[in-house]
């Protein structure tokens, strides 16, 4: 992940926190406004990409195995930004952009030219743009939490180390979580602010993958309603 991303996120969160603090005293019972913007961070789980032999075709068309590989995509931190629009009190739509930098590790064994085990590691910049629907349920009395469910699809772009290889693909996701309203008010630029926690199951399908790969994610974000 580019080192310039982190300070930009911190500055943005600092500005939003000041605005939230200045408005916290003007609180009503229910958030007002339909347009939402959120920024957050979290964790994206890893996945196994499976084993794959490297074969060489001989003159007799019989494959000759050079070595075996076992590849894993590691877990990583994730930064995300989201925009949403409430169609009704229950249903809404939202779009999200996320960036992460997992490591791709390949273990090489049974090499006919070099005995032993070797591990090749490279970093990947992964960009995800997705969108879907949000269904909000009734608030949990006494806890101040509102549960929700989400589902949707998106586009995936992976840039391998030194950007020598670019992979594209898509993903489907289902998930859910809860939101906690910190304040709401009938007037002002920011009508409401809340904290949101998401748990998702992401099903990735990228060009060089043989099969769809499931990866879980957990994120927390600050949501501003306008």
The CA-to-CA distance between both ends of the chain, in Å, stands at 30
pLDDT at 59 over 80: no
Distance CA 75, CA 100 (A): 9
> From the centroid of its chain, how far is CA 48?
17
Q: How does residue 187 score in pLDDT terms, banded at 50, 70 and 90?
A: confident
Q: How does residue 24 score in pLDDT terms, banded at 50, 70 and 90?
A: very low
Q: What is the C-alpha R_g of the chain? A: 22
Least confident stretch, 26-30, 196-200, 209-213: 26-30
Better-predicted residue by pLDDT, 147 or 185: 147
pLDDT of residue 60: 56
Count of other CB atoms within 10 angstroms of residue 40: 22
pLDDT at 25 over 60: no
**Beta-strand relationship, 63-73 and 35-44:** unpaired
Tokens in use for 36? 């939402």
Mean of the per-residue pLDDT values of the chain: 81
Q: What is the pTM of this model?
A: 0.76
pLDDT of residue 109: 67
Q: How does residue 163 score in pLDDT terms, banded at 50, 70 and 90?
A: confident
Tokens in use for 206? 């990228």
């Amino acid at each position: 992940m580019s080192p310039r991303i982190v300070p930009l996120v911190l500055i943005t969160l600092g500005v939003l926190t000041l605005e939230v603090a200045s408005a916290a005293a003007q609180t009503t019972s229910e958030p007002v406004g339909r347009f939402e913007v959120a920024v957050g961070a979290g964790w994206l789980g890893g996945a196994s990409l499976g084993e794959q032999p490297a074969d060489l075709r001989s003159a007799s068309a019989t494959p000759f195995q050079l070595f075996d590989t076992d590849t894993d995509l590691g877990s990583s931190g994730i930064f995300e930004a989201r925009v949403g629009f409430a169609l009704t009190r229950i249903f809404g739509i939202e779009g999200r952009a996320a960036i992460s930098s997992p490591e791709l590790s390949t273990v090489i064994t049974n090499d006919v030219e070099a005995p032993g085990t070797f591990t090749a590691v490279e970093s990947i910049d992964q960009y995800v743009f997705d969108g879907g629907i949000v269904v909000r349920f009734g608030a949990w009395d006494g806890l101040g939490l509102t549960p929700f469910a989400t589902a949707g699809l998106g586009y995936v772009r992976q840039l391998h180390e030194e950007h020598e290889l670019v992979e594209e693909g898509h993903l489907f996701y289902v998930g859910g979580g809860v939101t906690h309203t910190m304040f709401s008010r009938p007037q002002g630029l920011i009508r409401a602010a809340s904290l949101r926690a998401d748990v998702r199951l992401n099903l990735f399908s990228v060009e060089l993958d043989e099969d769809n790969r499931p990866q879980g994610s957990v994120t927390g974000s600050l949501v501003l309603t306008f």
